[in-house]
Structure 1
C-alpha cells in the first residue's frame, strides 16, 4: 500500500508540472487574438532611446536550413521553420525603437505603384502647371542581412516511468535547437559593422498516467490520462531574432557605431549584456559551464562510510575518514595518494578498525566543465589497528581498488567531491573467518572537499 501511494504521489507531482496546460484544454473555438510576446520582446521595449533612428533596409531574412518537417507517415513539403523571417525581423526592429525600416523585400511592387502614380498624374493632371512630384524614396544607411542557419532536432531526448500493480506513468522530453545570424552592413563602404549569433532551444514534453486494475472479481478498471506540450517553433525563431536585435543595438552602442539620446545612461545595460554574453561563452551546447582548470595539484579531506562484504550476514556501515593528495599530469590525468582510517563491522559478530594507504591513477572525464565525473583505480595496503583479531590471523593485506565519483568545481581554489570505491583484498581473512572460495571485499563511500594548489606549467606567468 505504501508503494502504491508513493506511485500516486509521484504521478501527481508530474502532472503538477504541466497543470496549466492540462487544466486549459481546448473545448471550443477561440477568437483571433493579438500575437504572443516573448521574453526578449520586453527587453527590446526597455532599450534606451537613440540619439537618431537608423534607417535600415531588410531585403530578405531567409530560412537557410532547407529542412522539411519530419514525418513518420511519408514525405511532407512543410518546412521545419517559418519562412516569414523577414516579417519577424522588421517587427523586432520596430519594437526596439532604434530603427526606421524601409520596404525592400517587395521593392518591385513599390516601384510599380510609384510608376502608376506618375502615369495617372500625367494623364489626368496634364493641364496643371504645378503638378506635384512623387516624393523620393528613403535610402538605407545600413543593410541587415543573415538568416536562420540551422534547425537541429533531437539534440537531447529522454524520459522516465514507473509501474506498480497496474498503476503507472511516464514522462518524455525532446529538445531541438534553432540558430540565426544577423549582420549589419554599411551601404556607403560595404563594411560589416556587427555580426550577431543567437541560438534558442525548443522543448517538447509529454506526460501520461494509466491505471489497469481488477477492483473485484470480473470487474476491470482501466483509465489513462496524458498531456503533450510543444514549444512553437515560430515563437522560438521570434525570440532568437529579437535577442539578435537587442545584441545589435547594445554592441553597436558599446562600440560607438550609434549613439543613445542625450541624458540616457546605457552603462548598466551594457554591463548586464556583456556579463550575459560572457556567461554564454562559458557554457557548452548542453548548458554545462565551461571552466579552465589551472591547478597542478589538490589536497582533499573526505568523510563517509565503509561496508564489508564478507562471511557474516547483516553488514553495518562504519565511519570513514580519508586524506588524499592528487598531482595532475594534465587537465584530465592525475596520480592520487591517500591515507584512510575506517571501521568494518558485522555487529555483533565482527568489528575491526583499519588504516589504509592507496595509490591510484585517475581520469577526469569532462575537464572543461564545472561538474565532471572521474574514475580512478590502483592498489594499496591495509592494516588492522586494534587488538580484536584472533591469534594466527592476518592483520595486514594488500589490495586493489577502483571507483567512480563526481567533482564540482566551486571556484579556482576549491572543489566538492562524492566518491564510491570497491576494494578487493585477495584474502578471506578480513573478517577473521574463512568460509568458501570467495575473498572478502568492502566498499567505501565518501563526500569531501579539495583545496586546489599550484598551477599547470602552461598557465604560469613568465
Structure 2
C-alpha cells in the first residue's frame, strides 16, 4: 500500500471514529426514544380579522433513527379564539420528521415538518394539513430536555372556522414550551462500543 493510500485510509478511520463517538455522546446525553409534552398558544390566520391567542397542549412520542433524525407522532389539543365571545376547539394528529442539528451537545436547534390530520372536538369537521417549524432544546440533565418551538400549519380546507371564503385556505401558528424525556439506546450503545473497539484494534495492528 502506498503512503498516500495509507494516509487516506487513516483519515477515513479517524473520521469514522469521531462519528461513532458523537453517536455515543448523543445516546449518553439523550437516548433513541423520547416522550414529550408541552403547552403553549395558538392563533389562526383565516377569515376573521379579530382572531385572538388561545391555549394549546401536546403529548407525543419520537424515535431517533440516527442521532440527528427522528420520526415522531403527536396528539394536539387546541382552541381557536375567533373573537372575545366565539371559540372553536380542535385536535390534530401530527406526523413529522425532525432534524436535531447538534444532537451531542446540551443546546441544539431543530427543524421539523410533516403531515397532519385535523378535527373539531366532536369530529363533525375533519381536515388534512401540512406543518413545519423550528425550535431550540436545552438539556438540563442527562435524559431530560426543555424546548421552545413554533410551527406553522396550513390546513387544506377553507371551512375550519365555520366561515367559508372561496380560495382562502386556513393557516394557524402554534408556539409552545415543554419537555423531552429521553430513554433507551442500550443495544445501540453496545454496538457502537464494539465498532469503536474494532477501529482501535485495527489501528493497533498497523
**TMscore range, shorter length:** 0.7 to 0.9
What is the total number of aligned residue pairs between the two structures?
A: 166
Partner of residue 343, structure 1: 79
Of 26, 29, 49 in structure 2, the residue corresponding to residue 293 of structure 1 is 26
Distance in 1 between the 2:145 and 2:84 partners? 38
Does 2:130 align with 1:400?
Answer: yes
**Paired residue secondary structure (2:133):** strand
Distance in 2 between the 1:344 and 1:355 partners? 11
Of 405, 410, 417 in structure 1, the residue corresponding to residue 140 of structure 2 is 410
Post-superposition CA distance 1:360-396 (Å, at most 9, x none): 0110111222111101111011110159xxxxxx611
Query: TM-score scaled to structure 2, two decimals?
Result: 0.75
Per chain length, whose mean CA-contact separation is higher, i.e. which structure has more relative contact order (CA < 8 Å, sep 6+)?
Answer: 2
Post-superposition CA distance 1:310-347 (Å, at most 9, x none): 10012111111100111001110100110011101111
C-alpha RMSD over aligned residues = 1.9
Does 2:168 align with 1:441?
Answer: no
Partner of residue 97, structure 2: 361
Distance in 2 between the 1:355 and 1:439 partners? 18
Q: After TM superposition, where is structure 1 displaced by more than 4 Å over at least 4 residues in a row?
A: none
**Paired residue secondary structure (2:57):** strand
**Paired residue secondary structure (2:93):** strand
Partner of residue 106, structure 2: 370
- Per the TM alignment, residue 457 of structure 1 is displaced from its structure 2 partner at its CA by 3.8
**Paired residue secondary structure (1:366):** coil
Of 380, 387, 398 in structure 1, the residue corresponding to residue 116 of structure 2 is 380
Query: TM-score scaled to structure 1, two decimals?
Result: 0.34
Partner of residue 185, structure 2: 455
- Evaluate the alpha carbon distance shift between residue 456 and residue 311 of structure 1 in structure 2; reply closer, same or farther with a 3 A threshold: farther
- Per the TM alignment, residue 348 of structure 1 is displaced from its structure 2 partner at its CA by 4.2
Of 151, 162, 165 in structure 2, the residue corresponding to residue 421 of structure 1 is 151
- The within-5 A match list for 1:263-302 is 292-294=25-27, 295-302=31-38
Contact 1:293 1:412 in 2 (8 A): no
- Per the TM alignment, residue 350 of structure 1 is displaced from its structure 2 partner at its CA by 3.9
**Paired residue secondary structure (1:292):** helix
Q: Which ranges of structure 2 fall in alignment gaps of 5 or more residues? A: 1-23, 195-206
Normalized per residue, which structure has more strand?
2
Q: Which of these two proteins has the greater Rg computed from alpha carbons? A: 1
Partner of residue 11, structure 2: none
